[in-house]
Amino acid sequence: MQASAGSFETQQSNTTIFDGVKGDPGDLTIDPNQTLHLWKGIQSAAPHPGTGFAYRKLYGDFILTVQLRSQKNTDQFYNFGLQIEALDSELLFKTKFDSYSNLSVELHGSKKIQLNREGFVKNPDIFQVEQVGSELIFSAANCGKPLKVVARYTLPKLQNLQVGVYRDFAANDKNPLELKNLRWVIPAWKNFIPYYHYLGSRLEILDVVTGERKVIYETAAGIEAPNWTSDGDTIIYNSSGRVYKLYLPTKKISLFNTGFEVKNNNDHIVSFKGKTLGITHMDKDIIDNWSIYKLPINGGEPQRLTFKTPSYLHGWSPDGRYILYTSRRNGQFEIYRANADGSGEELQLTNNDSMDDGSEYTPDGKYIYFNSTRSGAMRLWRMDADGKNPKQITHDNFNDWFPHISPDGKHILFLSYLPDVDPILHPYYKQVYLRMLPIGGGEAKVVAYLYGGQGTINVPSWSPDGRYVAFVSNSQLGAEKH
């Protein structure tokens, strides 16, 4: 599909991937699922070198993140970059590579200069530029590593920008530029009020083997916390107090019948055997009066399981006998266990002066993974199923939340906030990472760079075969700017 006005008709209605192409258009294929965009040269009788710039028109804060899929040993790696044109100031910015393959940023104005470099990233394949107020921030990473800031520049004023990617075409250029997981984000506005205002949402599926992300549903509404059903055909999520089902073969969305419970939050979990859904519901519209209920996986009248509030569901035991949840007692958040049939008394599994949350059983039922501030920042921990022998799992500078164990018990997927976020909070609408860690130990690897947080993966979100993970990312989509 040659890049022209018609090239962009395949885009989804709520997302503009590019507004147009300047210079040499080449042959740009737009992926409506936002997984892989291909940009090839056009073969003609009179081939010629040139440069193309695929851009989006923006005004105000934004984030553009893209991954280069092509091999680094090809020339095209050096013929690609991010580009920003500040139309009112007649400034142009391009990411380039120096002679040591480190990323740099060139400013083209009255003369060409290289911006002062804050960090060095050699041969990166993750590229990001964001605008915060009047400041442009350029970052990069080697896939799997956290982003590093490369350079900054303060614009003389807030103004119209054209932002996107460029590529240089050589004569007879047959190499496709393969851009993977390109995401535009219009972040939360300045006076945004959490839990009152909501951004739009993208329901995405990540292939943990290839790293490719597919947008399967996009809406201007706030949706949260995807679960996978045991047959692999349906994803369950919540929005505005209701629970919904998205049937993957047809993308059809339907309301999940939760009976009289219509004030549900993002703590809903499918049991290991796949026959029961647990939900967390606000009783009598009283703030913090959250209780846990269960109901059949096909919907029906809920049965109440907890009677002390607030209680927030986080895990089922593999044998279906118990539920795990977080409760606040005497001002302290701790982890509790209760019988899944609603009988008996709850058992407190943690007891310290920290915040403990996000508990989940391993598939063999021997251990419980959770997140805790007991060592300072929010870290991942593991304890025996009876709460004994706690052991810290993550040790770096991030604030880690919601460990989810793969169905084969070999990996942990979790959400990481940057160090500047309060450890006891898991707020909406921040730059975050999804990271994965071998359960036997090792280095945590970034598997997704995104804008999200609360609602992204609050609940177990692995596919039954362990190949995919569902999650929610956020942006203003089809909503008014504030």
Distance between CA atoms of residues 340 and 275, nearest Å? 13
Whether residue 313 is predicted with pLDDT greater than 90 in this model: the reply is yes
SS (H, E, C) the chain: CCCCHHHHCCCCCCCCCCCEEEECCCEEECCCCCCEEEEECCCCCCCCCEEEEEEEEEECCEEEEEEECCCCCCHHHHHEEEEEEECCCCEEEEEEECCCCEEEEEEECCCEEECCCCCCCECCCEEEEEEECCEEEEEEECCCCCCEEEEEEECCCCCEEEEEEEEEECCCCCCCEEEEEEEEECCCCCCCCECCECCEEEEEEEECCCCCEEEEEEECCCCEEEEECCCCCEEEEEECCEEEEEECCCCEEEECCCCCCCCECCCCEECCCCCEEEEEEEHHHCCCCEEEEEEECCCCCCEECCCCCCEEEEEECCCCCEEEEEEEECCEEEEEEEECCCCCCCEECCCCCCCEEEEEECCCCCEEEEEECCCCCCEEEEEECCCCCCEECCCCCCEEEEEEECCCCCEEEEEEECCCCCCCCCCCCEEEEEEEEECCCCCCEEEEEEEECCCCCCCCCECCCCCEEEEEEEECCCCCCC
Write down the pLDDT at residue 15.
64
Whether residue 77 is predicted with pLDDT greater than 60 in this model: the reply is no
Of 361, 279, 259, residue with least CA distance to 320: 361
pLDDT band at 48 (very low <50, low <70, confident <90, very high): low
pLDDT band at 5 (very low <50, low <70, confident <90, very high): very low
> Which has the minimum average pLDDT: 146-150, 155-159, 458-462, 476-480?
476-480
Phi-psi domain of 175 (left: phi exceeds 0; alpha: psi -120 through 50; beta: other): beta
Are residues 430 and 451 in contact, defined by beta-carbon separation less than 8 angstroms?
yes
* Domains of the chain (ranges, CATH numbers): 5-185 (2.60.120.200), 200-475 (2.120.10.30)
pTM listed for this prediction: 0.94
Whether residue 76 is predicted with pLDDT greater than 90 in this model: the reply is no
Write down the pLDDT at residue 47.
58
Read off the pLDDT of each residue in 127-156 and give the average, rounded to a whole number.
97
Distance between CA atoms of residues 450 and 467, nearest Å? 20
Q: How far is CA 135 from CA 76, 155, 406, in A?
A: 29, 6, 40
Of 84, 144, 73, residue with least CA distance to 115: 84
Whether residue 73 is predicted with pLDDT greater than 80 in this model: the reply is no
Per-residue pLDDT of 174-186, as tens digits, reads: 788 999 999 999 9
Write down the pLDDT at residue 302.
96
Per-residue pLDDT of 372-394, as tens digits, reads: 999 999 999 999 999 999 999 99
Are residues 318 and 230 in contact, defined by beta-carbon separation less than 8 angstroms?
no
Write down the pLDDT at residue 2.
38
Write down the pLDDT at residue 74.
54
Per-residue pLDDT of 329-350, as tens digits, reads: 888 999 999 999 999 999 999 9
Write down the pLDDT at residue 158.
93
* CA dihedral (258, 260, 265, 270) positive or negative: negative
Q: Which residue has the higher pLDDT, 73 or 291?
A: 291
Write down the pLDDT at residue 478.
61
Per the listing, tokens 């947080």 go with 453
Write down the pLDDT at residue 210.
95
Whether residue 11 is predicted with pLDDT greater than 50 in this model: the reply is no
